[in-house]
Chains A and B, each alone.
Chain A
Amino acid sequence: ACGSDSAGGDATASDDGSITMGFAQVGAESGWRTANTTSIQDSAKEAGIDLKFTDAQGKQENQIQAIRSYIQQKVDVIAFSPVVETGWDAVLNEAKAAGIPVILTDRAVDSKDTSLYKTFLGSDFVVEGQKAGQWVVDNADEADTDGDGKINVVQLEGTTGAAPAIDRGEGFADSISADPSIKVVASQTGDFTRDGGKQVMESFLQSGDHIDVLFAQNDDMGLGAIEAIEAAGLTPGKDIKIITVDAVHDGMQALSDGKINFIVECSPLLGPQLMDLAKKVLDGEEVEPRILTEETTFDQAQATEALPDRQY
């Protein structure tokens, strides 16, 4: 992913040569999302695509309205990050009727009629959770910080009901089930925010039970939790091992500083790939129905290495 093949070559299809893309963003609920938006806006400019952008402020109905207005404006291609998987058939059918191709980014829709969209570009949250869990399984010895043979994990969940929260939790549980000594002793939502993560972690720490590992479903909650851990007089990364998802800049910094032990990347930089796909679709080229973003994982050493050219 990370900006490999950015510049789009010669102009493509469409009557007057210019392409108009309507993009309906979910919102701007996190740094991750903002990076995603910026990436799309920047690469559209770079690729010479005229971008119509709407922020649905977290509401599916707003997103649907935006898509509908793109149909009325007769844009060449519509792309959007669905807030939820369900409920898109109606508006996608309208787009299909109007002959406008649709590309999904970041998250799939569960429509049975796969002709409603051309392709889906994005990460797999379940896999992210699995990678995080796998790390605990692989590093079981190190993760058992008090050496009692049992690994007590606490989990900071994302917004209850949100797809990444559900899937990452699922993936994580899936992986750690391989090792019976690993157990999630407490799990509570921190709403994907630092403040939420800190407050919930404070409470976990007060409970008196030993905590070996913290799995935070995004970097922000992990960063908040680090503050709570430090305030409790413990050393994050040593007394409590920390795993997070996303790999935003602050998270990578903490990882490189040794306060986090492992981060699963979830890249927001979908812009270049998206513009590429849009051009291919409009040129009538065949595209894969499912394109995974290239994502990796970082341990502390890798983070130190990667940090200098992190874009977000």
Chain B
Amino acid sequence: MPETATLTQRVLRHPLLWPVLALLVLLLINVLVKPNFFDIRMQDGHLYGNLVDIVRNSAPVLLVALGMTLVIATRGIDLSVGAIAAISAAVACTRIVGAGDEGALTTAVLACTYALAVCIVLGAWNGFLVSVVGIQPIIATLILMVAGRGISMAITDGQITTVRNGWFSDLASGYVLTVPLAFIIALGVFALTALLTRRTALGMLIEAVGINPEASRLAGVRSRTIIWTVYAFSGLCAGIAGLVIAANTNSVNANSLGLWIELDAILAVVIGGTSLAGGRFSLTGTLVGALFIATLARTIPNIGIPSELNYLFKAVVVIAVCLLQSPKVRALFRVHRRGPSVPALAKGAA
């Protein structure tokens, strides 16, 4: 049957095959250890279960990773996302606490808007350092990574600020039509990003800048503006993530909020198949990657791995996923079709 043959072939060639497979394997492990892992029930009018938790908890990483994907596509990297998330949360929470009516919807909305505006400015600052001053992205964003924690601590005065605002809390624990609001927000940003990059020419221009900056410049691409925008967007995404994380516990701890989230986000991006060398990116891949990371986080307590073995387990999983993704290993699966090896030429074509 030639029809099905081409279908399987298409599936086999699809770049998302391996990330999705890895995710499925991880879920399978969970089910094998705890057969009730997939159980979902209704609880107080919304869905409740491991999968729901995973989806909800994936929201912050997904948000950060979306911004990171675009930054990475331009050959950059954004280390400051964790600090920006902390600043965002700090700004929003102190505003809510300081507001006259702590529990009101308008208070929450105003505070969040204000916080996100700050984050866009911070992101744009990164973009300025990278594109105008010409500092290497890793250092440019390292500056805000270091200073940003200090700023967010200065805002909260180093204390854990607790807020009591039901609307704000709903950002993380609310449900819309039984689905966690946090995930809907993340999906919304995902859809918006996809729309903005794939329905306009933005995606292609970002990729061009990432693959060959000089050629793009000569072709008239406004690479400066693009880089600037992308960092600002990353700041915005990190800001939203910060709000979601803060809402999750109704509090902000400037010191630990979003700590090392940049590593998780980068990992999600890479698992999703986007190369750190810049260029082609896959937002859907990033989505899968973020779900993978959230699932991994849930797997550890679920299958009862002792705390001291957490890192070892993560190491094994990361190596396994990478090997799965490696073209060399994949070639072993496809025994019958021996393609020409193109050593290293595929990379650094620019």
> Per the CB under 8 Å rule, do A and B touch in the complex?
yes
The reply to whether A199 and B34 form a contact with Cβ atoms under 8 Å apart is no
Residues of A within 8 A of B106 (CB): none
Q: Are B256 and A195 in contact (CB under 8 A)?
A: yes
Are B49 and A191 neighbours in the complex by a CB distance under 8 Å? no
> Is there contact, CB below 8 Å, between B158 and A28?
yes
How many residues of B are in contact with the other chain, CB < 8 A? 37
B326 within 8 A of A: no
* Contacting pair A206 B302 (CB below 8 A): yes
Cβ-closest chain B residue relative to A196: B256
Q: Which of A30, A199, A203 contacts B253 (CB 8 A)?
A: A30
Whether B249 lies near A28 (C-beta < 8 A) is no
CB distance from B58 to the nearest CB of A (A): 11
Does B310 belong to the interface (CB within 8 Å)? yes
With a cutoff of 8 Å between Cβ atoms, the chain A residues found around residue B245 in the complex are: 195
Report yes or no: A203 in contact with B53, Cβ–Cβ below 8 A: yes
Q: Within the complex, which residue of A37, A189, A208 is in contact with B307, where a contact is CB–CB below 8 Å?
A: A189
* A202 and B53 contact, CB distance less than 8 A: yes
Cα–Cα, bound, A140→B48 (Å): 31
- Name the distance in Å between A228's Cβ and chain B's nearest Cβ: 9
State the interface size on chain A (CB cutoff 8 A): 39
Bound Cα distance from A303 to B48, whole angstroms: 33
Complex Cα gap A34–B308 (Å): 27
Interface flags for B20-56 (1: CB within 8 Å of A; 0: not) read 0000000000000010110100011000111001000
A200 to B248, CA, bound (A): 13
Q: B297's contact among A160, A199, A227, by CB below 8 Å, is which?
A: A199
A231 at the interface (CB under 8 A from B): yes
Q: Which of A1-52 contact B (CB under 8 A)?
A: 27-31, 34-35, 37-38
Indicate whether A186 reaches chain B with its CB closer than 8 angstroms. yes
Q: A191–B301 contact, CB under 8 A? A: no
Q: Does B275 contact A (CB under 8 A)?
A: no
Name the residue of chain B whose CB is nearest to the CB of A206: B50
For residue A224, CB closer than 8 A to chain B, the reply is yes
Contact indicator per residue, chain B 142-181, by CB within 8 Å of chain A (1) or not (0): 0000000000010001111010000000000100000000
Q: Which of A30, A203, A224 contacts B249 (CB 8 A)?
A: A224
Q: Does B251 contact A (CB under 8 A)?
A: yes
Q: Which residues of A contact B257 (CB under 8 A)?
A: 195
Most buried by B among A31, A37, A208, A248: A31
Q: Which of B34, B153, B157 contacts A207 (CB 8 A)?
A: B34
- A233–B44 CB distance below 8 A: yes
Pairwise interchain contact B307-A160, C-beta atoms closer than 8 A: yes
- Distance from A38 Cβ to chain B, minimum over Cβ atoms (Å): 8
Produce 1/0 per residue, B200-213, CB < 8 A to A. Answer: 00000000000000
Question: Can you name the residue of chain B whose Cβ is closest to the Cβ of A207?
Answer: B34
A198 at the B interface (CB under 8 A)? yes
A31 to B298: give the CA distance in the assembly, Å. 26
Chain A residues with CB below 8 A from B43, complex form:
232-233
Q: Does A85 contact B (CB under 8 A)?
A: no
Q: Which of A28, A187, A188, A208 contacts B153 (CB 8 A)?
A: A28
From the candidates A189, A199, A224, A227, name the one contacting B310 in the complex (CB within 8 A): A189
Q: Which residues of B contact A172 (CB under 8 A)?
A: none
Q: Can you list 24 contacts pairing A with B, beta carbon distance less than 8 Å?
A: A28-B153, A28-B255, A29-B255, A30-B253, A30-B255, A38-B158, A186-B301, A188-B304, A188-B307, A189-B310, A191-B256, A194-B253, A195-B245, A199-B53, A200-B301, A203-B302, A207-B302, A220-B160, A223-B251, A227-B173, A227-B249, A231-B173, A233-B43, A250-B160
The residues of B with any CB-CB pair to A shorter than 8 Å are 34, 36-37, 39, 43-44, 48-50, 53, 57, 153, 157-160, 162, 173, 245, 248-251, 253, 255-257, 297-298, 300-302, 304, 306-308, 310
